[in-house]
């Protein structure tokens, strides 16, 4: 088992193809779940610790069917869109499988969205029913919906007609006491009835693996968010591939503190765990270091997912040493580069000796490269591993031609994992996909053994006085300083040079460092034009909901007089 060996580059070029030894799974999500239940029905499936919810796989499938029948009762049919605006809750997991059961398209709505973004997302894809948590971390979701659709207060539940949200008919609120005009989730679960349940198998049998089943919004560096449209085939096969790479085994437990609305949670977490009858453990609605450590210990988790900042937060928790984490073995660290000191701590102090690094993008379902559980530490921190099965990648120059091994260019990806396109946006789809190749926008280098290194975004590159500066390269260098825990490097406008290099630095606990001393330390080690002119020491970075640093906000802050 495990990840099939990456094929070495073809003819000395930066072009790799994954193994095709195991065939792809040509199944829809309902067929996939039915097979999981057949094999693992009595095994623990999901534990939502904050809610006190525990299901076996057979119980999970039964709850999924109740919700699917309830959605049918609302008039939601194959191809229609159902949005979920919520943190990690049991209703979200049910919606993931219930929408697929009837061929409806699940639309992931970022819990951090506010009214402007919500209105755009719902209207862009024509969401008919919205499943929503009442609130999360101070965000009053129902109040925001009321602002966009004041008509709801006087509407019969399920019969909304709102001027600003013309496609939306039903708002389904989690928990008791739904707002006027909204349905309660419990009511929808109860109203499907025997008739709706009896229709499910015939509907599922009519679905095809290449049907669109999920829309995830990606916030590009410019312009409005794009709705990456994924199929059953895309995400089922990606979930299975990453599970094999981690060597998940039936009966193990995977702790999933990463958000469902992102591929990391719903594909690399939920679908990967289901593929092998693994228990999914959800510490809470959002990431909290202590709750995650408690979940790992209490549920004897064997795997743990997270972005590097999550692992750092757990290691830095004052009570870290009190937790027994010896059950841990594997998991995925993704979303940002992992500094070697952090990787070594994760492997040694958290017992995650087989943790893997994964790379991908929403448009590729998401993972195209992943390290093996037995790759050397140096490989796991300096690369994103090797090509996944049934995937093809190449690094191209500005002319679109494949570059020789070891040269830096844009990474293109092709295979089953490439999305159908951006929802309702043929122009941006055509710009991004050429002859089946997804242009990732990421700068990459593939070495002679097929390992891939990501060197940042093409658009992240800054030009200082005619010299190209790649922020990831400078960040990796800065993090070799013994006092630096994290570094973010970006460009800021400069009258003389066009752009100048800026860095936001987080120091290790107890460390002290001055900007001038850091610049002096850099001299002679990296080219002078790469040394940050503007340095700011901070306690934390502005982050996205998935824990990724928001460089544009740092740039805005630095540009203020």
Could you tell me the two tokens for 557? 């802050």
pLDDT tier at 2, thresholds 50, 70, 90: very low
Q: Does this chain's domain 10-25+223-457 share its CATH topology with 29-42+54-208?
A: yes
Three-point CA angle 257, 235, 80, nearest 5°:
100
* CATH class of the domain at 461-559: alpha beta
Which pLDDT tens digit goes with each residue over 297-309? Answer: 999 999 999 988 8
**Choice among 5-9, 66-70, 140-144, 434-438 with the minimum mean pLDDT:** 5-9
Cα distance between residue 298 and residue 285, in whole Å: 17
CB 491 within 8 Å of CB 485: no
DSSP 321: G
More confident residue, 20 or 223: 20
Residue written as token pair 């492997």:
347
Could you tell me the two tokens for 512? 């002290």
pLDDT of residue 219: 62
Which pLDDT tens digit goes with each residue over 55-81? Answer: 999 999 999 999 999 999 999 999 999
CB 87 within 8 Å of CB 282: no
Instruction: Please state whether beta strands 386-387 and 391-396 pair in parallel, antiparallel, or not at all (unpaired).
Output: unpaired
Cα distance between residue 276 and residue 303, in whole Å: 13
Cα distance between residue 454 and residue 432, in whole Å: 19
List the CATH code of the domain at 10-25+223-457.
3.40.50.12780
DSSP 362: G
Fold classification of 29-42+54-208 is: Rossmann fold (3.40.50)
Q: What value does the mean pLDDT of the chain take?
A: 93
Mean pLDDT value of segment 276-287: 98
pLDDT tier at 248, thresholds 50, 70, 90: very high
DSSP 66: H
Q: In the chain, where are the structural domains located?
A: 10-25+223-457, 29-42+54-208, 461-559
């Amino acid at each position: 088992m495990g990840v099939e060996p990456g094929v070495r580059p073809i003819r000395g070029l930066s072009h790799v193809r994954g193994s095709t030894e195991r065939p792809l799974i040509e199944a829809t999500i309902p067929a996939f779940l039915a097979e999981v239940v057949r094999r693992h029905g009595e095994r623990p499936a999901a534990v939502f610790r904050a809610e006190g919810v525990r299901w076996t796989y057979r119980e999970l499938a039964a709850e999924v069917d109740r919700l699917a029948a309830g959605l049918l009762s609302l008039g939601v049919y194959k191809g229609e869109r159902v949005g979920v605006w919520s943190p990690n809750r049991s209703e979200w997991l049910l919606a993931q499988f219930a929408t697929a059961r009837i061929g409806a398209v699940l639309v992931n709505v970022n819990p951090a969205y506010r009214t402007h973004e919500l209105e755009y997302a719902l209207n862009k894809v024509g969401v008919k029913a919205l499943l929503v948590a009442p609130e999360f971390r101070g965000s009053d979701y129902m109040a925001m919906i009321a602002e966009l659709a004041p008509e709801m207060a006087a509407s019969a539940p399920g019969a909304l007609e709102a001027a600003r949200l013309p496609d939306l008919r039903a708002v389904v609120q989690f928990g008791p006491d739904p707002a006027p005009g909204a349905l309660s989730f419990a009511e929808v679960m109860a109203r499907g009835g025997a008739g709706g349940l009896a229709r499910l198998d015939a509907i599922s049998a009519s679905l095809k693996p290449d049907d669109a089943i999920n829309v995830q919004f990606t916030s590009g560096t410019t312009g409005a968010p794009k709705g990456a449209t994924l199929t059953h085939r895309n995400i089922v096969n990606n979930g299975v591939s990453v599970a094999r790479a981690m060597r998940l085994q039936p009966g193990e437990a995977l702790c999933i503190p990463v958000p469902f609305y992102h591929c990391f949670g719903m594909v690399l977490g939920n679908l990967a765990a289901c593929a092998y009858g693994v228990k999914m453990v959800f510490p809470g609605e959002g990431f909290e270091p202590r709750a995650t450590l408690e979940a790992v210990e209490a549920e004897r988790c064997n795997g743990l997912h997270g972005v590097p900042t999550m692992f750092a937060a757990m290691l830095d928790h004052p009570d870290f040493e009190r937790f027994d984490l010896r059950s841990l073995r594997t998991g995925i660290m993704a979303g940002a580069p992992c500094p070697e000191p952090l990787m070594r701590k994760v492997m040694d102090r958290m017992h995650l000796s087989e943790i893997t690094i994964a790379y991908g993008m929403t448009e590729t379902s998401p993972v195209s490269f992943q390290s093996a559980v037995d790759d050397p530490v140096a490989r796991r921190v300096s690369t994103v591993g090797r090509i996944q099965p049934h995937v093809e990648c190449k690094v191209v120059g500005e002319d679109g031609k494949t570059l020789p091994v070891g040269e830096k260019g844009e990474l293109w990806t092709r295979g089953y994992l490439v999305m159908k396109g951006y929802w309702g946006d043929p122009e941006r789809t055509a710009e991004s996909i050429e002859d089946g190749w997804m242009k990732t926008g990421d700068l990459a280098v593939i070495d002679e053994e097929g390992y891939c290194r990501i060197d940042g975004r093409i658009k992240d590159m800054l030009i200082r006085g005619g010299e190209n500066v790649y922020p990831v390269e400078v960040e990796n260098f800065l993090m070799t300083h013994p006092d630096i825990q994290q570094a973010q490097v970006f460009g800021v406008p400069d009258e003389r040079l066009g752009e100048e290099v800026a860095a936001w630095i987080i120091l290790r606990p107890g460390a002290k460092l001055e900007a001038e001393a850091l610049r002096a330390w850099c001299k002679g080690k990296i080219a002078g034009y790469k040394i940050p002119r503007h340095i700011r020491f901070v306690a934390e970075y502005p982050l996205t909901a998935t824990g990724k640093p928001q460089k544009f906000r740092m740039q805005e802050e630095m540009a203020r007089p």
